Every structure is written in C-alpha cells, then in structure tokens.
C-alpha cells in the first residue's frame, strides 16, 4: 500500500536508502554506495510539501519516493526500494502513484536523472516508459540538477536526464 510519508517514517526511509545503495558497491560505484541518505531535515521538506510517499507492508515502509516540481514537471528526486522487497514492482507502483499525482495537478510529464548503464537505473526507467533527453531538450532546472550532480562526483559514471510524458 502506498501512503503519504509521515514524520515517524523518516528513520526507515533513511535506512531504505542505505540498503538500496549497497548494491552499487558490488559494481564498483563505492561513492554512490557510501553516499549519505537525505537528511531528516531535507526529507521533512518533502513531507511538508506533500511530495513524499512510502510503500508499506503492515504499515512499515519498505520503499519510498520523494518528488519535486522542476520546470513544470514532476521530478523524481529519489525512489528507493529495500533490496528485501526488490523485484515486486514496488518502485514502478511508486512511479505510477507520482504520475497520478502529477496528472491531478495538470503537469505534463515526469522527469528524473539516472545512471545510464546501471541495470536498475536507466534501463529500468526505460521499461517504466521514460526516454533519454538529448542535451538540447534539457530545461534550465534539469541543467542545474545535472551541474550539481557533476560537482558531487556523480559524472564519474554515465548519467542522463529522462522524461516520461503523461
């Protein structure tokens, strides 16, 4: 079941992020695996804006999605599924939930940034209906996000912006 995240979910969301990041170490992406989850303060901002959702099993979060609005589109800031619950289409369910939220607000598309060669990133999002954006399709907000990612060292591996029309 998907519901809005609550203050009491914040520790679980951070643990989900840590667990979901661990597989990156197995493919040599230690920087990503060791990256700290969003701080409680950052997560609270998404909660306060009504843009944080959790998928729960017996009311315990096993996955979450946080979103922003970037250049008039719903932007997936982060979607993470605990590895114990991988392969159950939970991430896809959260993305579909965001798509419904975006449609209700008249937003035309979903966007995100991702690693292009990590199987559970770019290839996965393509299966979810996203397409890669060419450089000339990037909006100012997406360019800013990519620039911040580059400063953080994430461009050590191929990254791209993606979009899914609604």
Q: What integer pLDDT is reported at residue 1 of this predicted model?
A: 96
Q: What integer pLDDT is reported at residue 108 of this predicted model?
A: 98
Q: What integer pLDDT is reported at residue 29 of this predicted model?
A: 94
Q: What integer pLDDT is reported at residue 133 of this predicted model?
A: 98
State what percent of residues in the chain have pLDDT above 90: 98
Q: What integer pLDDT is reported at residue 103 of this predicted model?
A: 98
Q: What integer pLDDT is reported at residue 130 of this predicted model?
A: 98
Contact yes or no for 20/80 (Cβ under 8 A):
yes
* Residues 58, 3: Cα–Cα separation, whole Å: 12
* Residues 114, 146: Cα–Cα separation, whole Å: 10
Q: What integer pLDDT is reported at residue 15 of this predicted model?
A: 97
pLDDT digits (tens, 9 = 90+) for 96-137: 999 999 999 999 999 999 999 999 999 999 999 999 999 999
**What does the domain layout of the chain look like in residue ranges?**
2-165
pLDDT digits (tens, 9 = 90+) for 59-75: 899 999 999 999 999 99
2-165 carries CATH number 3.40.630.30: yes
Q: What integer pLDDT is reported at residue 89 of this predicted model?
A: 95
* Residues 125, 98: Cα–Cα separation, whole Å: 14
How does DSSP assign 119-151, residue by residue? TTTHHHHHHTT-EEPPGGG--HHHHHHHHHHHH
Mean pLDDT score across all residues of the chain: 96
Q: What is the pTM of this model?
A: 0.95
Q: What integer pLDDT is reported at residue 117 of this predicted model?
A: 94
Per-residue pLDDT averaged across 82-96, rounded?
Answer: 96
């Amino acid at each position: 079941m998907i519901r809005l995240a609550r203050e009491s979910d914040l520790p679980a969301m951070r643990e989900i992020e840590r667990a979901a990041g661990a597989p990156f170490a197995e493919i040599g992406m230690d920087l990503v695996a060791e990256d700290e989850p969003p701080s409680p303060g950052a997560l609270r901002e998404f909660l306060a804006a009504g843009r944080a959702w959790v998928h729960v099993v017996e009311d315990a979060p096993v996955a979450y999605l946080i979103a922003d609005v970037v250049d008039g589109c719903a932007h997936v800031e982060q979607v993470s599924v605990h590895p114990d619950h991988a392969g159950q289409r939970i991430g896809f369910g959260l993305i579909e939930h965001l798509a419904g939220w975006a449609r209700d607000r008249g937003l035309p598309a979903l966007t995100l940034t991702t690693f292009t060669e990590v199987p559970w990133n770019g290839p996965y999002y393509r299966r979810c209906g996203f397409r890669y954006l060419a450089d000339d399709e990037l909006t100012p907000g997406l360019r800013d996000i990519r620039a911040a990612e580059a400063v953080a060292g994430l461009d050590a591996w191929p990254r791209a912006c993606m979009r899914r029309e609604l």
